[in-house]
Chain A
Amino acid sequence: DSGVTQTPKHLITATGQRVTLRCSPRSGDLSVYWYQQSLDQGLQFLIQYYNGEERAKGNILERFSAQQFPDLHSELNLSSLELGDSALYFCASSGPGYTEAFFGQGTRLTVV
């Protein structure tokens, strides 16, 4: 158990809909990262937050947004969903000093 909790584990939704993925980082970790992993693909960096502030942005679509709350949990919002958004979405957290990242189990999103 990495200590990072992601909910839900699975999500099936229709095109055009909006969903919210939730991540609770390890206790004490201030950094949260979001990644998208499509079938047989690598980990595409989406966005990073540090103590509530956005710190780095990757190839995140405008239809996607994220935030980190005062209690350090984070949410990734995906709107106007398309079939191509179907993927595994991972959240990771890391502690002070930007050492290793600990990954959650992921949320598998299926858009039908």
Chain B
Amino acid sequence: GQQVMQIPQYQHVQEGEDFTTYCNSSTTLSNIQWYKQRPGGHPVFLIQLVKSGEVKKQKRLTFQFGEAKKNSSLHITATQTTDVGTYFCAGRPNDYKLSFGAGTTVTVRA
């Protein structure tokens, strides 16, 4: 069945540094979404990418959807303590099931 793989599982970042988390699907996706879950909280939607090669930015966050619509990345620049949490990608192989990756848990060293 369709699987969404996400790496790395953990990312320990020095405050001010950049990092990237990657998401790969075994099948082509109709769209991909990214969510953030703060410690003790619930996942909150960040963004959705639909088009092949699409790039979207939200302040220090840059999201990219691969040309083949099977992979995606989230790049965060100048990491801040407010970036702490787990970032999930979620892919839709069709219009129904929304499959989440295992998440990248980010900790920040001040």
User: Which positions in A face B, CB cutoff 8 Å?
Assistant: 2, 33, 35, 40-45, 48, 50, 55-56, 58, 90, 92, 94, 98-106
Contacts and interface: CB of A to CB of B under 8 A. Distances in A.
Interface in B51-110: 88, 90, 92, 95-103, 105
A105 B44 CA distance: 10
Contacts of A2: 42, 44
Size range of the interface on B? 20 to 34
Contacts of A55: 96-97
B44 A41 contact: no
A48 B5 CA distance: 20
A102 B45 contact: yes
Nearest to A44: B100
B46 to A, nearest CB: 9
B6 to A, nearest CB: 8
A48 B102 contact: no
Given A100-B33, A104-B42, A42 B88 contact: yes
B11 interface: no
A100 B33 CA distance: 7
Contacts of A56: 96-97
